[in-house]
């Protein structure tokens, strides 16, 4: 028997980081994403976000590549957001995303971080948060492509 625990902290943003996910309807989107994740035989630990981006902490089934998982998630939610009627300003997701692995023993800290997004963003912009998370994960940012759609 194989043993896997593939936990990812995923961040996706709206096209051009426009604030098109109104707070009053964000829970509807999060429930939809939860269903998507369950249908992929994966597990959602936490989801939260702001009007221009969302954070997902999920254990992805080992048969799925993270890139395919996120592509399918973005395609599915893109259609749902446009058809729901509650996200009239939503155009699309940004092309890029961030996905970082997370040790199981560190998941509670990641859950707390995601849970406190609204409070967190009173002190730091999305751009600064995104940059910090990328750099903390040992990735060198190419400024030519940073947050470009």
State the CATH number of the domain containing residue 74. Answer: 3.30.70.1290
User: Tokens for 70?
Assistant: 């996120």
> What is the predicted pLDDT for the residue at 72?
97
CA atoms within 13 A on the CB side of 15: 7
Residue 146 is assigned to a structural domain of this protein:
no
Range of the domain at 99: 7-136
Residue 70 is assigned to a structural domain of this protein:
yes
pLDDT in tens, the chain (149 residues): 788 899 999 999 999 999 999 999 999 999 999 999 999 999 999 999 999 999 999 999 999 999 999 999 999 999 999 999 999 999 999 999 999 999 999 999 999 999 999 888 889 988 889 889 989 999 998 888 887 77
**Separation CA 97–CA 99 (nearest Å):** 7
- Answer whether 67's CB lies under 8 Å from 75's CB: no
- pTM, two decimal places: 0.93
């Amino acid at each position: 028997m194989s043993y896997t625990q593939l936990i990812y902290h995923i961040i996706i943003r709206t096209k051009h980081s426009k604030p098109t996910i109104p707070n009053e309807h964000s829970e509807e989107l999060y429930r939809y994403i939860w269903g998507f994740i369950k249908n992929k035989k994966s597990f959602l630990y936490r989801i939260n976000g702001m009007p221009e981006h969302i954070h997902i902490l999920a254990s992805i089934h080992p048969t799925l590549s993270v890139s395919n998982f996120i592509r399918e998630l973005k395609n599915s939610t893109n259609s749902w957001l446009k058809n729901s009627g509650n996200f009239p300003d939503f155009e699309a997701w940004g092309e890029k995303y961030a996905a970082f692995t997370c040790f199981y023993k560190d998941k509670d800290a990641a859950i707390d971080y995601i849970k406190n997004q609204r409070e967190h963003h009173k002190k730091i912009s999305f751009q600064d948060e995104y940059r910090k998370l990328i750099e903390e994960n040992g990735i060198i940012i190419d400024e030519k492509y940073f947050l470009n759609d």
